[in-house]
């Protein structure tokens, strides 16, 4: 099975070699704007989905080719932090190459110390946060029933306190879903207290779920 794609030019990261470590479509969210499609497995339990050794081999094979690669990016067909081998894979890849490693995550599992420890192996982490009130969170991200937006925010805060490299927070804004002035005001207050290195606003440009 092919886990590595690219390198492709990415708006945020330059030439990015994507590493997909989650089968479609396992995620802790079922966002209304998801480009991958509807989440068939809405879950929060981490597990080993694939043989991590074969994924690392595929990455190293690509890295040995002459293509320009600015960053190796874990993302893919669902939420990458659901993969319990994430920390091991990042560590191995960083040991074998000097190319920076990034992880794109929805940030929902950052309240789990094991997830934060895995992500600490990366050079940069790109979490998202689209809501700060539970009602809007449920409307836009349609999360697993156990997830509470305050815990997600606390997870981001805890990770910031522990991780001294780059964290770029992405916020997806959707008309009539999370752009209510009250929610935006609260979002600005919360986000300004999170001490992220960058805050990137986005809106839907490709066909959503
Ligand atoms: S978190 Fe990402 S993969 Fe999961 S449903 Fe939302 S957009 Fe799709």
pLDDT tens digits for range 185-198: 999 999 999 999 99
Specify if 208 maps to a domain.
Answer: no
| 98 CA distance to ligand 1 middle (Å) | 29
From the CA of 49, how far away is ligand 1's center (Å)?
A: 17
Contact 8, 44 (CB under 8 A): no
Polymer length of the chain: 209
Residue 209 in any domain: the answer is: no
pLDDT band for position 76 (cuts 50, 70, 90): confident
CA distance 124 to 127: 10
Is the CB–ligand 1 distance for residue 29 below 6 Å? Answer: yes
Give how many domains the chain has, as a whole number. Answer: 1
Q: Is 30 touching ligand 1 by the criterion CB < 6 Å?
A: yes
**Cβ–ligand 1 contact at 31 (below 6 Å):** yes
> What CATH code is carried by the domain that includes residue 10?
3.20.20.70
Residue 101 CB partners (closer than 8 Å, separation 6+): 71, 72, 73, 74, 90, 93, 94, 121, 122, 123, 124
Q: What would the pLDDT profile of 90-101 be if each residue is shown by its tens digit?
A: 999 999 999 999
Distance 37 CA to ligand 1 centre (A): 9
| Residue nearest ligand 1's atom 6 by CA | 31
- What does pTM read for this prediction? 0.96
Three-state DSSP state, 170: strand
Parent domain of 76: 4-203
Measuring CA to CA, which residue among 170, 158, 148, 167 is closest to residue 110?
Answer: 158
Does 46 fall in a domain? yes
Residue 37 pLDDT grade (very low, low, confident, very high; cuts 50, 70, 90)? very high
């Amino acid at each position: 099975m092919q886990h590595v794609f690219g390198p492709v030019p990415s708006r945020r990261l330059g030439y990015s070699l994507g590493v997909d470590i989650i089968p479609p479509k396992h995620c802790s969210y079922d966002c209304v704007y998801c480009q991958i499609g509807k989440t068939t497995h809405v879950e929060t339990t981490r597990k080993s989905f694939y043989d991590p050794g074969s994924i690392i081999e595929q990455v190293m094979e690509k890295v040995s080719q002459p293509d320009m690669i600015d960053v190796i990016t874990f993302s893919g067909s669902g939420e990458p932090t659901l993969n319990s081998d994430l920390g091991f894979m990042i560590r191995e890849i960083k040991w074998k190459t000097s190319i920076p490693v990034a992880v794109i995550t929805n940030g929902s599992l950052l309240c789990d110390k094991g997830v934060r420890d895995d992500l600490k192996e990366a050079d940069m982490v790109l979490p998202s946060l689209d809501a700060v009130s539970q009602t809007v969170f449920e409307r836009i991200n349609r999360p697993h029933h156990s997830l509470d937006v305050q815990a997600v925010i606390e997870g981001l805060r805890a990770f910031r306190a522990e991780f001294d490299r780059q964290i770029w927070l992405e916020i997806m804004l959707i008309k009539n879903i999370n752009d209510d002035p009250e929610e935006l005001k609260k979002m600005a207050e919360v986000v300004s207290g999170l001490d992220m290195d960058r805050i990137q606003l986005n809106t839907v440009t490709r066909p959503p779920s």
